Amino acid sequence: MLWPSTLIGAGAGFAIASIPGALLGALMGHAMDRRLQLHSWAHVRARLGGKPALRDDELLFVMLGRLAKSDGRVVDGHILQAKQEMHRLDLSDHARQRAIAAFNRGKTGGDHLKGYLRHLKRQPHAAEGLLRACWRMIWADGKATFQERELILLWGKWLGWTPAKVKALATDYDPRRKPLTGSGGAYQEALELLGVAADTEPAQIKRAYRRLISRHHPDKLVGSGASPSQVRDATERTRELHQAYAVIRQRRNF
């Protein structure tokens, strides 16, 4: 993790009083970094530009706003998808207002996100969550434009992901992919896949979905010696669970 004030304090302290000065300067700088939440030079640039540094829970919605506006016009599908992401995260009213402000801030395109995203390189699950949400926003209007693809590939690079790995996530949300079954049987199949009934409470359905995702996610196989076919099977299973949950939420309207 990069702490800007810590580095500046250490450098200034060393210039003034050698190693003891560097230690004291680093200590004072680190205290300032924590107080002002400065984790990267991107935070410093934001503060110098008169903007507050982005909180972790605001970064996602800034990225979604940037994607929605990337080809020049925000459509109803983008707005709806942003609301669905807020619902997915179970945001409080106050957090929802911050998310809306962050989404609008993202539409301006004025934030330098490189430092924020590099800060998440050592948090693979958080990075994947961001990229998945971005793909959902990209497909919200039924198409993925060149500008949107370029943005998510760049962000993936800053997160430490290869282009192929970023692109692989897109298939989970591409509306052109074949649905579970015909429309008449999709809902029943989705219920069976998650192991729930038609009258199961939404909170229980959500818990069942999260439990199955945690059990079958391909990240569980990293470092376990699993074969490529096992990783592909786990990825496909995860995709089916995502799709089943989406079918149930749409049918039950929650």
What's the pLDDT tens digit per position in 3-12?
555 555 556 6
Residue 174 has pLDDT above 90, yes or no: no
Residues 6+ positions from 234 with CB-CB distance below 8 Å: 216, 217, 218, 220, 221, 226
What pLDDT sits at residue 185? Answer: 66
What's the pLDDT tens digit per position in 146-157?
999 999 999 999
% of the chain surpassing 70 pLDDT: 74
What pLDDT sits at residue 119? Answer: 82
Residue 19 has pLDDT above 80, yes or no: no
Residue 183 has pLDDT above 60, yes or no: no
In terms of average pLDDT, the best of 43-57, 133-147, 211-225, 234-248 is: 133-147
pTM: 0.56
Quote the CA–CA distance of 200 and 218 in Å, as a whole number: 27
Quote the CA–CA distance of 254 and 251 in Å, as a whole number: 8
pLDDT band, residue 182 (cuts 50/70/90): very low
Residues 6+ positions from 131 with CB-CB distance below 8 Å: 152, 155, 156, 159, 161, 166, 169
What pLDDT sits at residue 140? Answer: 81
Residue 222 has pLDDT above 70, yes or no: no
What's the pLDDT tens digit per position in 60-80?
999 999 999 998 889 887 888
4-31: average pLDDT: 59
